[in-house]
């Protein structure tokens, strides 16, 4: 089998990071493509969903649009605004 025909490597991703109280249980874990997980962590580090939406809104989408997070339960963490990532 040629390398391009191999399935991508996967890694375990915590939907709610352990550093923010996420548990090591099936509801909080998902298998994702390792390269995509590396990109996610590079861009968004350990930010909350609200912070990630703000970064995307300020950096990646037109000013006429805004990405928002709608919580289905629980409260958003009170965190300072994240710095804008450097774009090269």
Per the domain annotation, does 20 fall within a domain? yes
Q: Please count the CA atoms within 13 angstroms of the CA of 57 that sit on its side-chain side.
A: 14
Provide the domain limits for residue 47: 9-59
Per the domain annotation, does 17 fall within a domain? yes
- Looking at the structure of the chain, the number of domains it has is 1
Q: Which residues share a beta bridge with 12? A: 31
Per the domain annotation, does 65 fall within a domain? no
pTM across the whole model:
0.70
Distance CA 82, CA 18 (A): 19
Residue that the structure tokens 């249980």 belong to: 25
pLDDT digits (tens, 9 = 90+) for 10-58: 999 999 889 888 999 999 999 999 999 999 999 998 898 999 999 999 9
Residue 20's pLDDT is: 87
Contact indicator for 64, 33 with CB cutoff of 8 Å = no
């Amino acid at each position: 089998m040629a390398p391009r025909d191999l399935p991508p490597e996967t890694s375990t991703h915590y939907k709610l990071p352990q550093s923010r109280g996420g548990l090591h249980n099936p509801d909080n874990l998902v298998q994702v493509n390792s390269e995509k997980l590396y990109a996610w962590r590079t861009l968004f580090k350990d930010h909350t969903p609200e912070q990630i939406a703000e970064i995307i809104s300020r950096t990646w989408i037109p000013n006429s649009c805004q990405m928002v997070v709608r919580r289905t339960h629980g409260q958003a963490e009170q965190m300072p605004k994240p710095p804008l990532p450097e774009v090269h």
